[in-house]
């Protein structure tokens, strides 16, 4: 291990405040990654912070790790950069010391801001901070001149844990997390004396299980990690034939399924959760085998209560090879601390593709926010938008035109266009639907001339006409202008879906982002 570099109390204190902030306490996955990166830096190992090292040491990947096949490091690092920017726009605004993960690298940089300087570390376009000074030897104010005097004999980090020879043992960060994958609780308790757990939400646990899968970990398009099949009893694994029809943007959930009569008993901390069950009919209804509606039917029980009765996946999603999801809110573990799920066959065995358990919002479904991008996005109001999903048909494109009338130009620069629909799972009841648009193809600032009248389309929702002969540019007052259309009282359909259909009238229909909130 390298000799200890100079460690400044202000930097340790800043890490502590970030880790225990409201924003990061809601995302222990990103907090754990930040703790690991800062720990390596504090330990004099900044030069070793490479994609391969992070994958092997932090994420537990094997020595055969190939970044081209597994983007987990890049995806999580990007999410961490965005969350840090959010933090310094909100809770951490005005902090003298700020933690930056520069684009293109993974080693953290502690940047010092003179006490008289206020504001955020990055502008609204995500540019690197200005008027900041760094401790990386690149010039500017030194940490000593920018921050309060430091007492070398009382270094906060060194007082956490020491071993003979003065080498810092970074609990979880440089040892436990690297070698033993100890819980995130270890580092937060070391930094905060246990206050973190007292203030953290008990609903922070996230569980994602790929039913039938033997692959240890798989990363989805949102950068979330799914584990192999676990906590089950009964049933067997069915692996679809290569010729099976797969029409899903979440194809990792269609590579294997658990079938038959089976159950899951999942350990779960006390709290309120939202449960997502994923299904896809990968056998019946696909050539060369026969079958269709009514071929496979089963019941699903949650903690002994039936939540799906005579469930038919093909009927629910209107076709085989299509992934569907059922959403259940206000879920709690049983008295024994387990979440019990039972799948009981009525015809040809039950089938399950995946289980997702997320922190819940008491009394309401978690908002659904979809951006027509291939990566997650965090908007200026601190909302998290997931990559494009639940779509059928159409194509994606991204344009670089700046969009006026919004603090989130990037949210309107990508679009799905063509003749397409979104089939979005929700809970039963009424919902508010917000559709976001901007005309970034036609118009004076794009291909010349007025954009009005060049793109006209209809939008239907669950049999109701939402927009007829809709012209984005006409309603927005020109091209490259943000336009949000809000619809309230949208009733879910009998299959608990919000189905948005975009039908061209003149040129292609398009949409930039979709938001659904339970009313």
- Residue 87 pLDDT more than 60? yes
Q: What is the per-residue pLDDT for 115? A: 62
355-395, pLDDT tens digit by residue?
999 999 999 999 999 999 887 888 888 888 998 999 999 99
- Residue 416 pLDDT more than 60? yes
Q: Which of 224-228, 262-266, 305-309, 311-315 has the lowest mean pLDDT?
A: 224-228
Residue 481 or residue 3, greater confidence:
481
In 3D, which of 492, 486, 316, 511 has the Cα closest to residue 420? 511
Enumerate residues 6+ apart whose C-beta is below 8 A from 484. 434, 435, 436, 437
Look over the chain and give the mean of its residue pLDDT values, rounded to a whole number. 80
Q: What is the pTM of this model?
A: 0.66
Peptide bond into 288 cis (omega under 30): yes
Residue 138 or residue 443, greater confidence:
443
Contact of 50 with 106, CB cutoff 8 Å: yes
> How many angstroms separate the CA atoms of 36 and 34, rounded?
5
User: Where along the chain do the CATH 2.60.120.430 domains lie?
Assistant: 207-359, 368-518
Q: What is the per-residue pLDDT for 486? A: 98
Residue 381 or residue 466, greater confidence:
466
Could you tell me the sign of the dihedral formed by the alpha carbons of 293, 296, 299, 300, in that order?
A: negative
> How many angstroms separate the CA atoms of 493 and 238, rounded?
31
Contact of 86 with 93, CB cutoff 8 Å: no
Beta bridge partners of 338: 267
- Residue 244 pLDDT more than 70? no
Q: What is the per-residue pLDDT for 29? A: 83
Could you tell me the sign of the dihedral formed by the alpha carbons of 492, 498, 499, 504, in that order?
A: positive
Percent helix, strand and coil across the chain, each to the nearest 5: 20, 30, 45
Contact of 87 with 21, CB cutoff 8 Å: yes
Q: What is the per-residue pLDDT for 192? A: 40
Residue 244 or residue 53, greater confidence:
53
Residue 395 or residue 283, greater confidence:
395
Residue 400: both structure tokens together: 């670089």
- Mean pLDDT to the nearest integer, 446-465: 90
Residue 377 or residue 223, greater confidence:
377
3-state secondary structure of 107: coil
Q: What is the per-residue pLDDT for 59? A: 82
- Mean pLDDT to the nearest integer, 499-504: 98
> How many angstroms separate the CA atoms of 282 and 276, rounded?
19
Residue 242: both structure tokens together: 């290569």
- Mean pLDDT to the nearest integer, 198-210: 62
Enumerate residues 6+ apart whose C-beta is below 8 A from 304. 340, 342
> How many angstroms separate the CA atoms of 303 and 293, rounded?
28
Q: What is the per-residue pLDDT for 321? A: 80
Residue 403 or residue 166, greater confidence:
403
Q: What is the per-residue pLDDT for 68? A: 73
Q: What is the per-residue pLDDT for 78? A: 87
> How many angstroms separate the CA atoms of 244 and 284, rounded?
10
Q: What is the per-residue pLDDT for 188? A: 40
Which of 21-25, 144-148, 314-318, 487-491 holds the top average pLDDT?
A: 487-491
Q: Which of 110-119, 361-370, 438-447 has the lowest mean pLDDT?
A: 110-119
Backbone angles phi and psi of 141, in degrees to 5: -65, 140
- Residue 472 pLDDT more than 90? yes
Residue 322 — very low, low, confident or very high, per pLDDT cuts 50/70/90? confident
- Residue 175 pLDDT more than 60? no
Q: What 3 state SS string does 163-181 have? A: CCCCCECCCCCCCHHHHHC
Residue 389: both structure tokens together: 């999903």
> How many angstroms separate the CA atoms of 237 and 380, rounded?
44
Q: For residue 305, count other CB atoms closer than 10 A to its CB.
A: 9
- Residue 465 pLDDT more than 90? yes
Q: What is the per-residue pLDDT for 286? A: 64
Q: What is the per-residue pLDDT for 164? A: 33
Alpha helix (H) residue ranges in 411-499: 472-476
Could you tell me the sign of the dihedral formed by the alpha carbons of 205, 211, 217, 219, in that order?
A: negative
- Mean pLDDT to the nearest integer, 231-242: 87
- Residue 505 pLDDT more than 60? yes
- Residue 71 pLDDT more than 50? yes
Q: Which of 30-39, 140-149, 350-359, 486-495 has the lowest mean pLDDT?
A: 140-149
Enumerate residues 6+ apart whose C-beta is below 8 A from 360. 203, 271, 272, 273, 274, 329, 330, 331, 366
- Mean pLDDT to the nearest integer, 474-494: 96
3-state secondary structure of 58: helix
- Mean pLDDT to the nearest integer, 244-248: 47
116-150, pLDDT tens digit by residue?
444 443 333 333 333 333 333 333 333 333 333 33
- Domain 368-518, CATH number (from 2.60.120.430, 3.30.540.10, 3.20.20.70, 3.60.20.10): 2.60.120.430
In 3D, which of 95, 102, 45 has the Cα closest to residue 77? 102
CATH class of 207-359: mainly beta
Q: What is the per-residue pLDDT for 250? A: 65
Q: Which of 174-183, 216-225, 270-279, 356-365 has the lowest mean pLDDT?
A: 174-183
């Amino acid at each position: 291990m390298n000799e200890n570099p100079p460690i400044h109390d202000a930097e340790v204190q800043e890490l502590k405040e970030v880790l225990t902030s409201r924003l990061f306490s809601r995302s222990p996955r990103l907090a754990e990654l930040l703790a690991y990166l800062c720990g390596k830096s504090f330990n004099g190992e900044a030069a070793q912070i490479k994609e391969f090292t992070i994958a092997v040491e932090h994420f537990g990947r094997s020595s055969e790790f190939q970044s081209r096949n597994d983007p987990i490091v890049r995806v999580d690092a990007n999410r961490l950069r965005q969350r840090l920017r959010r933090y310094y726009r909100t809770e951490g605004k005005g902090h003298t010391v700020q933690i930056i993960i520069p684009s293109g690298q993974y080693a953290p940089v502690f940047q010092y801001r003179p006490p008289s300087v206020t504001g955020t570390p990055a502008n609204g376009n995500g540019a690197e901070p200005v008027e900041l000074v760094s401790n990386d030897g690149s010039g500017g104010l030194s940490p000593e001149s920018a921050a309060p005097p430091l007492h070398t004999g009382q270094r906060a980090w060194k007082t956490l844990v020491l071993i003979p020879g003065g080498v810092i043992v970074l609990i979880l960060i440089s040892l436990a997390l690297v070698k033993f994958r100890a819980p995130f609780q270890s580092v937060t308790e070391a930094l905060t004396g246990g206050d973190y757990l007292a203030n953290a939400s008990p609903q922070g646990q996230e569980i994602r299980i790929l039913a039938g899968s033997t692959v240890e970990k798989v990363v989805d398009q949102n950068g979330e990690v799914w584990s192999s099949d676990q906590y089950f009893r009964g049933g067997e694994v069915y692996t679809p034939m290569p010729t099976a029809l797969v029409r899903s943007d979440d194809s990792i959930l269609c590579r294997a399924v658990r079938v038959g009569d089976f159950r899951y008993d999942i350990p779960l901390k006390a709290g309120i959760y939202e449960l997502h069950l994923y299904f896809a009919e990968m056998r019946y209804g696909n050539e060369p085998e026969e079958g269709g509606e009514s071929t496979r039917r089963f019941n699903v029980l949650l903690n002994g209560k039936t939540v799906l009765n005579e469930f038919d996946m093909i009927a629910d999603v209107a076709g085989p090879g299509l992934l569907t999801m059922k959403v259940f809110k206000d879920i709690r573990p049983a008295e024994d601390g387990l979440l019990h799920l039972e799948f009981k066959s009525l015809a040809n065995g039950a089938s399950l593709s995946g289980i997702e358990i997320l922190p819940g919002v008491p009394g309401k479904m978690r908002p659904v926010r979809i951006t027509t991008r291939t990566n997650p996005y965090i908007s200026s109001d601190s909302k998290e938008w997931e990559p494009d999903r639940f779509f059928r048909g159409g194509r994606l494109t991204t344009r670089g035109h700046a969009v006026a009338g919004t603090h989130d130009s990037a949210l309107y620069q990508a679009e799905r266009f063509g003749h397409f629909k979104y089939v979005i799972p929700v809970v039963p009841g009424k919902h508010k639907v917000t559709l976001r648009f901007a005309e970034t193809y036609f118009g004076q600032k794009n291909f010349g001339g007025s954009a009005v009248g060049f793109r006209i389309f209809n939008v239907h929702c669950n049999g109701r006409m939402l927009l007829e002969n809709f012209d984005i540019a006409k309603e927005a007052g020109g091209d490259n202008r943000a336009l949000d259309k809000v619809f309230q009282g949208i009733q879910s359909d009998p299959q608990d879906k919000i189905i948005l259909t975009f039908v061209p009238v003149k040129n292609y229909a398009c949409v930039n982002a979709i938001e659904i909130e339970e009313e």
